Amino acid sequence: MKKRSKIIALSAIGAMVIAIVIIGLVYAGTRKLNLPTSVVKMAIRNGNTGEVILITDQRVLEKTVSEINAMELKRMGRERFTSTGWSCAVNLYYSDEEKPSYSLMLRKDTISTGKYIYGEDARIEELRNELLEFMTKQ
């Protein structure tokens, strides 16, 4: 009887270890930010010049949020506040309030949400370049 209890206990422990490993793999995988698409306005700041433009054109807003939501991002770690190293900041507003609902900082190959840094999607750099180019045409 004792031998059977030990086998059952070891089986339960093994199942828990497997479950923890599977959860870890899922958690460490890629994810999408899934930002709401009902943006009212967006502010883009050039990290090199400090220039800011405000965008209210719904086509541009929807396209930008859709591009961000389509990215397969991997969490790279926790954000540590830094005011350097980013080239484009995006503030998304879902109402006419002064404070943005979401703030994102785009670097060459990462997006920072203020809490976490995400990366490993080539479209990050493409979006950053598109937004900076859009600024020069305004």
DSSP state of 99: S
Indicate the fold that domain 32-136 takes in CATH: Dna Ligase; domain 1 (3.30.1490)
Say if residues 49 and 23 touch (Cβ distance below 8 Å): no
Among 64, 66, 57, 65, residue whose Cα is nearest residue 138: 57
- Give phi and psi for 52, each to the nearest 5: -125, 135
Model pTM above 0.85: no
Say if residues 41 and 84 touch (Cβ distance below 8 Å): no
DSSP state of 48: T
DSSP state of 7: H
pLDDT at 76: 85
> For the chain, which residues make up each domain, given as ranges?
1-31, 32-136
pLDDT of the chain, 138 residues: tens digit per residue: 566 766 666 666 665 656 565 555 445 567 888 898 899 999 999 988 999 999 999 999 999 999 999 998 888 888 765 556 788 999 999 988 888 988 999 988 889 887 888 888 889 999 999 999 988 887
At which residue do the structure tokens 């460490």 appear?
28
Question: Using CA atoms, how far apart are residues 120 and 98, in angstroms rounded to an integer?
Answer: 32
The angle formed by the CA atoms of residues 72, 79 and 94, to the nearest 5 degrees, is: 65
pLDDT at 80: 67
pLDDT at 25: 47
Say if residues 32 and 68 touch (Cβ distance below 8 Å): no
Question: Using CA atoms, how far apart are residues 28 and 36, in angstroms rounded to an integer?
Answer: 23
pLDDT at 81: 57
Question: Using CA atoms, how far apart are residues 104 and 13, in angstroms rounded to an integer?
Answer: 42
Report the length, in residues, of the chain.
Answer: 138
